[in-house]
Amino acid sequence: MIPFPISEQSPIAFAGPLPSETDVVVIGGGVIGVCTALYLARKGRRVVLLEKGRIAGEQSSRNWGWIRQQGRDPDELPIMVEANRLWTELASQTNVDIGLVRSGVTYLAENEKELRGYADWVPVATAQGVDSVLLDRADLKARFPELAKGGFVGGITTPSDMRAEPWVAVPALAGIAVRDGAVIVEGCAARKLDLEAGRITGLFTEAGRIACSDVVVAGGAWSSLFLRAHGVSIPQLSVRASVGATEPVHLPHHGAVGAGKCSFRTRADGGASLAAGGFHELFIGPDAFRALPKFRAQLMADPFGTRFLPAAPKGYPDAWSTKRQWDEDEVTPFEGTRVLNPKPNAGKLRKVAAEVENLFPEVGPIRYRTMWAGMIDTMPDVVPVVDRVDAIPGLTVGTGMSGHGFGIGPGIGRVLADLVCGDAPGHDLRRFRLYRFSEGKAIERGPAL
């Protein structure tokens, strides 16, 4: 299994066709959109999912593949616990091996301050029945002797956390959605909502208009651009995160680990996925200037975790040259960039490999098979927007997953389907309301675990 990210050159697997009418249109073929379409279909709704490029072509195939309860925001954790269960159910409903393994997630603490942060989170896990365990230095040595050699003072581990291969898993979920009645159309961009008296009556696409009463925006890094064109503003930014896949390597630890400057997990093909823990890069553009004041608390809490780059490349959602307004018969930015394919930070990934070699000197030199990058849609408080838009009846938003989207995807998709249908979502969603950043209240930042 060679983990090349899905790209614009990947063949179209879901070709529709686009119907003239439906009940709900979901915009965005990442894990959130796919799961929303799946659960809408299971609720008996006629649903069409539109993806401008390829299913899982962007961050949903470029993430680390962690299915992680550990370290979640307290209000997000109940949905993640549900998602953990749903992943197991969904994996049994496809004939594709998505690489789902319950191998656990472990974070290692370099100092006592980090360890205290982990200790503060353990009661949150316990309250939700999650099996997270705090490890002091002696516990770490007894439980994971292979990890104790790095001079860490302890850590936290959650045995019930899982991993899967995202470039396989999300298209497999799309296959389940189609089998259950959803229509998926790749290579078809949504252009503009069709509104009558302020209410949704349809959606204009590059292939024509489709009549509908509800639209779900789950466009990841592109959500803010689409919403702003309709007068809905959210302080969402997109940051670049780079990942490397190694040649086969026999790491002594077979779970997922966040260890200071590096994070890694083993993969089904015998290699490992490596990334820089707590590091990302922000391209400065118009949205960045508008939203940076809202991100002040996040930047102050981790001033060295973000590298600022002077300008987004052409075709990025927040590039200076990207159009912010268009008519329904115009070519949009979504058609100009079918699959956002950022260049990875190769230098940073080489440093990550060196960190892993230092942690496990017995494995010898680590060589990369391939590298890639993705754009993570993030919010100032590191939790998503999951809400109905009061100003535009029929519009629902699920975006800003802040790097947590792959793991929580089935849970958020199920919740969004309930919101569209007017059913009780089963979770307290006040933390994720759309207008929380315009209420004049202090931003409540989620845990930086």
pLDDT confidence band for 4 (50 / 70 / 90): low
SS3 21: strand
| Rg of the chain taking only CA atoms, in angstroms | 21
Q: How far, in Å, CA of 306 to CA of 100, rounded?
A: 31
Whether 160 has a pLDDT exceeding 90, the answer reads yes
pLDDT of residue 308: 83
Percent of the chain with pLDDT over 90: 85
SS3 40: helix
What are 204-259's pLDDT values in tens digits? 999 999 999 999 999 999 999 999 999 999 999 999 999 999 999 999 999 999 99
**Nearest alpha carbon to residue 204 among 316, 332, 317, 324:** 332
DSSP state of 7: -
**Nearest alpha carbon to residue 21 among 178, 188, 205, 174:** 205
pLDDT of residue 311: 85
pLDDT of residue 301: 65
What are 273-327's pLDDT values in tens digits? 999 988 889 888 998 888 877 887 666 666 556 788 888 889 999 999 999 999 9
- Give the contacts of 19 (CB within 8 A, at least 6 positions apart): 48, 183, 210
SS3 136: strand
Instruction: Give the CA distances from residue 324 to residues 174, 222, 337, 340, in Å, rounded to whole numbers and listed in that order.
Output: 30, 11, 14, 17
pLDDT of residue 280: 85
pLDDT of residue 239: 92
Whether 3 has a pLDDT exceeding 60, the answer reads no
What are 189-218's pLDDT values in tens digits? 999 999 999 999 999 999 999 999 999 999
Asked if 219 contacts 226 with a C-beta cutoff of 8 angstroms, the reply is yes
Q: How far, in Å, CA of 368 to CA of 353, rounded?
A: 9
Q: How far, in Å, CA of 103 to CA of 112, rounded?
A: 26
pLDDT of residue 299: 64
For 180-202, b/e burial (b = at least 16 CB within 10 A) is eebbbbbbbbbbbbbeeeeebeb
pLDDT of residue 303: 53
pLDDT of residue 75: 96
**Nearest alpha carbon to residue 107 among 116, 95, 97:** 116
- Give the contacts of 61 (CB within 8 A, at least 6 positions apart): 5, 6, 166, 167, 170, 374
Q: Distance of alpha carbon 184 from its chain centroid, rounded?
A: 20
Instruction: Give the CA distances from residue 49 to residues 3, 7, 55, 105, 337, in Å, rounded to whole numbers and listed in that order.
Output: 25, 18, 10, 32, 18
pLDDT confidence band for 123 (50 / 70 / 90): very high
Whether 331 has a pLDDT exceeding 90, the answer reads yes
DSSP state of 315: T
What does the pLDDT average to over 432-441?
90
The residue whose two tokens read 């004049």 is 440
Instruction: Give the CA distances from residue 420 to residues 75, 213, 223, in Å, rounded to whole numbers and listed in that order.
Output: 21, 10, 18
pLDDT of residue 284: 87
| E-state strands within 293-407 | 306-309, 368-378, 385-388, 395-399
- Give the contacts of 120 (CB within 8 A, at least 6 positions apart): none
DSSP state of 49: E
pLDDT of residue 170: 98
Q: How far, in Å, CA of 202 to CA of 229, rounded?
A: 16
Asked if 282 contacts 316 with a C-beta cutoff of 8 angstroms, the reply is no
pLDDT of residue 306: 79
What the chain holds in terms of domains, given with CATH numbers, is: 24-104+160-438 (3.50.50.60)
Instruction: Give the CA distances from residue 404 to residues 310, 351, 401, 444, in Å, rounded to whole numbers and listed in that order.
Output: 26, 24, 5, 17
Mean pLDDT of the chain, nearest integer: 94
pLDDT of residue 449: 64
Q: How many CA atoms lie within 13 A of 53 on its CB side?
A: 24
Whether 438 has a pLDDT exceeding 70, the answer reads yes
- Give the contacts of 24 (CB within 8 A, at least 6 positions apart): 40, 45, 46, 47, 48, 212, 213, 214, 215, 216, 420
Angle 166-179/405-421 helices, nearest 10 degrees? 20
**End-to-end Cα, the chain, rounded Å:** 30
